[in-house]
Amino acid sequence: DMVSDNRTLVTEFIILGFPNAREVELLLFAAFFLMYVLTFTENVAIILVIGMDYRLHTPMYFFITNLSFLDIGYTTVTVPKMLANIAIQSQTISVTGCFTQLYIFFFLGSAECFLLTTMAYDRYLAICNPLHYTTIMDCRACLWLALGCWLGGFLAPALPTAFLFRLPFCGSNIINHFFCDSPPLLELSCQGVFEIEVINFVVGTTVLMSSFILTMISYIFILATILHIPTAEGRSKAFSTCASHLTIVTIFYGTTMFMYIRTKTIQTFDFNKIVSVFYSVVTPVLNPVIYSLRNNDIKQGMRKVILKQ
């Protein structure tokens, strides 16, 4: 393929990753490999424990199962490719492969935003409307809410990815990142990208801010209700059911908002890479730990499953 001024169009990209001395690269390989194995093992364990213990067949644990599936997918779409790049020193990725990775990553990320909002709504109903909780949050409602999260996530990146895919890339083909992310890709286009930056910003802001605001509204009501509980023990018990979710919400939104709600991308891609590692590799490792360490039901479920074996 040739463009009008005889510059060859890019047919593959090179993912720069973390260009360091081989020793540092191997150290990074070991760290990322360990985190990926941990993420996979922890989340599969949570899915199995919740599936096998009928006492955990409640809306909250149904949504935690969905979160575990998302976290597995979220890391699987980026980390194995990055590990392969370090291991075999081949950093190329086809244009189609690159955009597929980009799309799936943002599909799962958007779905996670919507799911965290749904989980906040679930906690709101459980604490603020306990008498009607089981009738409102029945199986059907849970399934529709989960389906809505996955479908919303699937649709959210469609427009930005379609516009990005139509861009001509005809200069450098080196992506200064460890996966195909939109800011470094926009840097490589040989055409004006202002409109696409605006679309990215609008879609990213809509997904993040709408889900974040709805989550915060749920928590304002939850907090107001908790403060009216007469006993300290009652307040503590009510708050402990939200603490895990609130921790995950803080980590997830803190890092993703920093990365994607900016009209012009800060040029320090190396700093961006560190932030990206945090929400795409570290958070999925932490989520199951935060949920299982603070949660006696999951701990008991794990004991039951292990002792049965």
3-class SS at 8?
A: strand
Taking alpha carbons only, the member of 261, 73, 298 closest to residue 183 is 261
Q: Which of 37-51, 83-97, 200-214 has the lowest mean pLDDT?
A: 83-97
Q: CB within 8 A of 12, min separation 6: which ones? A: 92, 93, 94, 95, 173
- Count CA atoms closer than 13 A to 207's CA, side-chain side: 31
Checking if the pLDDT of 263 tops 50, the result is no
Domains of the chain: 12-307 (1.20.1070.10)
- Supply 225's token pair: 């209700």
For residue 307, the model assigns a pLDDT of 78
Q: What percent of the chain has pLDDT over 70?
A: 93
DSSP for 180-222 reads: --HHHHHHH-SS--HHHHHHHHHHHHHHHHHHHHHHHHHHHHH
For 105-153, the pLDDT digits (tens) are 999 999 999 999 999 999 999 999 999 999 999 999 999 999 999 999 9
For residue 298, the model assigns a pLDDT of 83
- Supply 20's token pair: 């360091």
Residue entry with tokens 């516009």: 163
What does pTM read for this prediction? 0.89
Of the two residues 216 and 271, the one the predictor is more confident about is 216
Q: Which of 119-128, 233-242, 244-253 has the lowest mean pLDDT?
A: 233-242
Checking if the pLDDT of 28 tops 60, the result is yes
Distance CA 184, CA 244 (A): 33
For residue 144, the model assigns a pLDDT of 97
For residue 188, the model assigns a pLDDT of 86
Distance CA 292, CA 270 (A): 33
